[in-house]
Amino acid sequence: MESIKIGILGMGNIGTGLYKILQINDEKIKNYANKKIEVKKVLVKNFEKQRDVDIPKELLTLDVDEIIYDPEIKIIVELIGGINPAYDYLKRSIESGKHVVTANKAVIATFGKELDDLAVKHGVQIKFEGSVGGGIPIINTLTESLSANEIEEIVGIINGTTNYILTQMSEFGMDFETALKEAQIKGFAEADPTSDLEGEDAVFKLAILSAVAFNKRVYPDEISREGIKKISQKDIKYASELGYKIKLLATAKKYGNNLELNVHPALIPNKHPLASVNNEFNALFIRGNAVGEVMLYGKGAGSMPTGSAVLGDVLSIIKAIETDGIKNSNNNITSKLVVNNIGQSKYYVRLEVVDEPGVLGKIAINFGKYGVSLESVVQRARGEKTVPLVFITHETDREKLDKALEEISSFSVVDKIASILKVEE
């Protein structure tokens, strides 16, 4: 049987998963592709490192040029992560006529246009299913299965680390720091989890989804973001009392010619499908003008799920090579949508106030003064100097809410504005 040779850049978590799948599903892959996939070279940092997979030492190299400029290698799989040197390697691979597959969300979110234009120029494909949602087929669903739809809204849990932490806080009463340590012990959080906790990881993924779903290229710094570090057990508790769960959401909503993009912790009702997505799992809730509502669910990270997505891209390129069907889905992005966070939302507001009569009424009147109406209130007396006062507003502009809270914060009876979160319905 004819073989097609590939090179792999990086043999970490995802690379290990990819190599394992090539071994355990060898017959299935050969039957589907009508070719044997042969790994010719693997770029590593250290020959002697112990790995969870048995790779012949003669396949390993410390020199990336042995892969990029090998005429026998047709597809290069980049699994290094980060922007540098991954971007340089991808660029040089394309310029040397290689098809490329990557799971690198940072590179695709930041340099997707440059790489896609370069791939078109050199007649090769670049594919990146594994960059968003791990093993969940998000990119292919949007570009293929839902291609006849105008996508109106995407709301998703696309970071497994933060979802695991919030699940532990919600289900087991852990505080934030304890839940984070648990996530690190179980391998769901990095030693430095900053990118996950501050929403950067989800922003990269949302930027990619914007290009794919809305035909709009958006750079990561154009997306407003807020992480989960400020979420406390108090917020978890009051959200539960009001019938909500707190999740870190990536949202993309189209309003006419405007596209609202946010990564933010938010309250979602217990009845919402995303409320039951727990631990390291991811899910994407999509609304199209023809299909209606669709939800994709699965493991958003991990060596085998992400390796599966990467290998799916490799097989797709092999099929395209056979049929001379080389194309890149995002090289004609021409959307006139404007990124503009104009949408209205309900909000959860938690104040710490002096425990005395008339405080609730005074604050409620002030909200009304600025046109912010209230849907529900939770007030708890604890026999202490200050007590929590929690509001859920009706839909309102954030500008109106901020003006109301600016005045409320000046009241002598208000100790602090402890938390402001969006409420997604």
Across the chain, mean pLDDT equals 94
Which positions make up the binding site for NADP(+)?
A: 9-16
Q: Which residues are the active-site residues?
A: 205
What is the 8-class DSSP label of residue 385? S
385 and 355 Cβ atoms separated by less than 8 Å: yes
Q: How does pLDDT run across 65-122, given as a tens digit for each residue?
A: 999 999 999 999 999 999 999 999 999 999 999 999 999 999 999 999 999 999 999 9
Which positions make up the binding site for NADPH?
A: 105
Which positions make up the binding site?
A: 9-16, 105, 190
CA distance 274 to 297: 9
- Say if residue 326's pLDDT is above 80: no
CA distance 35 to 31: 8
115 and 90 Cβ atoms separated by less than 8 Å: yes
Measure the CA dihedral 292/298/301/306, to 10°: -90
Q: How does pLDDT run across 200-222, given as a tens digit for each residue?
A: 999 999 999 999 999 999 999 99
Q: Is 142 helix (H, G, I), strand (E, B) or coil?
A: helix
Which has the higher per-residue pLDDT, 302 or 207?
207
- Say if residue 343's pLDDT is above 80: no
Question: Where do the domains of the chain lie, and which CATH numbers do they carry?
Answer: 3-134+303-323 (3.40.50.720), 138-299 (3.30.360.10), 346-423 (3.30.70.260)
For 55-59, 191-195, 299-303, 397-401, which range has the lowest pLDDT when averaged over its residues? 299-303
Model pTM? 0.93
Q: Which amino acid is at 330?
A: N
CA distance 178 to 186: 13
Q: How does pLDDT run across 363-374, given as a tens digit for each residue?
A: 999 999 999 999
Which has the higher per-residue pLDDT, 206 or 302?
206
What sign does the CA torsion over 244, 250, 256, 258 have?
Answer: positive
